[in-house]
Homo-oligomer: A and B are copies of this chain.
Amino acid sequence: MRGVWCDGAAVRFRGDLDEPRPAAGEVVLGVRLAGICDTDLQLARGYMGYRGVLGHEFVGELPGGQRVTAEINNPCGACPTCAAGRPGHCPGRSVLGILGHPGAMAERVAVPARNLHPIPDAIADEAAVFVEPLAAAFRMVEQVEPRPGMALAVLGDGKLGMLCAWAARESGATVHLVGKHPAKLALAGTGVATHLLADAERLGRPFDAVVDATGSPSGFPAALRLVRPCGTVVLKTTISARYEVDLAPIVIDEIRVVGSRCGPFPRAIAALASGVVDVRPLVGAEFPLDRAEDAFRAAGTPGSRKILLRP
C-alpha cells in the first residue's frame, strides 16, 4: 500500500506499506483526502516519538461508498478514566496517526466503527478534512461558552485561529481575531473584528476570554496581557518545548487557564453542512501521496493554507 511514513526525524512516501490490519470492531476505509496539520509537522520532527503512517484529518469511504470521517481517540473503554466519562483522556488510548495507531495518509486506514461520522453530501471532500480541527475549535466554544455581551479574542491568524473565530461567531459574543499578518486576517470575513497584535495590546485588557491558537511560545504571555481580571485563557497551542513564563499574573488577576484539545465532531459537521462555517478560504494546494515530501514542505511554509494529500 502507498502512504506517508514518519520515522521521527522526517516524512517520506512509501509504496511498500502493509495493508491495515483491522482490530476487533474496526473497519477499513478507502481514504479520499487527508489534510496536513501543525501536529503532523511536529510529529515529523519527533514530537511524541511517533513512528508510523501519519494522518488524522481525513475523509474516507466505506466499502459501499458512504463518505465518512472518524474521531481520532481510541479509548480502552474499561479503565477508570473511561468509566468516569473521559474516554478522550484514557491513558491506554491510541490516537489515529499520532500515538500507537496508523494514520490516514495512505490508500486505506482501519478505524473503530464507533468512531465513524457520516459526511453529508453538502460537504465537499476539501471541507470534510476540516471536521477534526473545526471540532477542536468547537471544544473551545464548549469550554468558554461565548454569549451575547461577552468579548472573545482569538490569538493567531493561522488556520486554527480562523476556525476558532468562526466557531464562536454564531454565539452572539463579539469575536476578535488578533494576528500579525493583514493578508491572513483579511480571510476572517464578516462577523469577526480583526486586529494586528500591536494594536490589540493598545486596547487595554478588554477581553473576557482569549484563545491562544498561535502555535508559538509568545501566545500565552500575549493572552495574559489581553485578558481581563478573572477572565479565561484557552490554550490551544501545544509547544513541544519548555519555556519561561511568569505565572504571577494568573494568581494576582485570578485568571482561569483551560487546556483545550479534541472536540465534538457532530457540531463541526453540522456547521460545515449548513454553511455557518465556510472553510474554502483556508484550502490550499493538493498533492498526490507520492509527493508527500513536497506537501510537507508546503505545509511548513509560514502562512500556508491547508495542504491536502489525495491517495
Contact = CB atoms under 8 A, between A and B. Distances in A.
Interface in A177-210: none
Contact of A251 (B229, B252, B259): B259
B256 A257 contact: yes
A260 B253 CA distance: 8
Copies in the complex: 2
A167 B226 CA distance: 33
Interface in A199-238: 220, 228-230, 235-238
Contact of A260 (B86, B228, B254, B258): B254
A244 B247 contact: no
Nearest to A250: B259
Contact of A89 (B236, B240, B254, B259): B254
A307 B228 CA distance: 35
Contacts of A257: 250, 256-258
Contacts of A78: none
A81 interface: yes
Majority secondary structure, A binding face: mixed
Contact of A236 (B251, B256, B258): B251
Nearest to A234: B251
Interface size class of A (residues with CB under 8 A): 20 to 34
Contacts of A220: 247
B259 A237 contact: no
A246 interface: yes
A242 B244 contact: yes
B247 A239 contact: yes
Contacts of A251: 235-238, 259-261
Nearest to A258: B256
A255 interface: yes
A249 B237 CA distance: 11
A221 to B, nearest CB: 10
A260 B250 CA distance: 8
16 contacts: A86-B230, A220-B247, A235-B247, A235-B250, A238-B252, A240-B248, A242-B246, A243-B245, A245-B247, A249-B259, A251-B260, A254-B260, A255-B258, A256-B256, A256-B257, A256-B258
Q: Which 4 A-B pairs have the closest CB atoms?
A: A89-B229, A250-B259, A257-B257, A251-B259
Interface of A: 81, 86, 89, 220, 228-230, 235-261
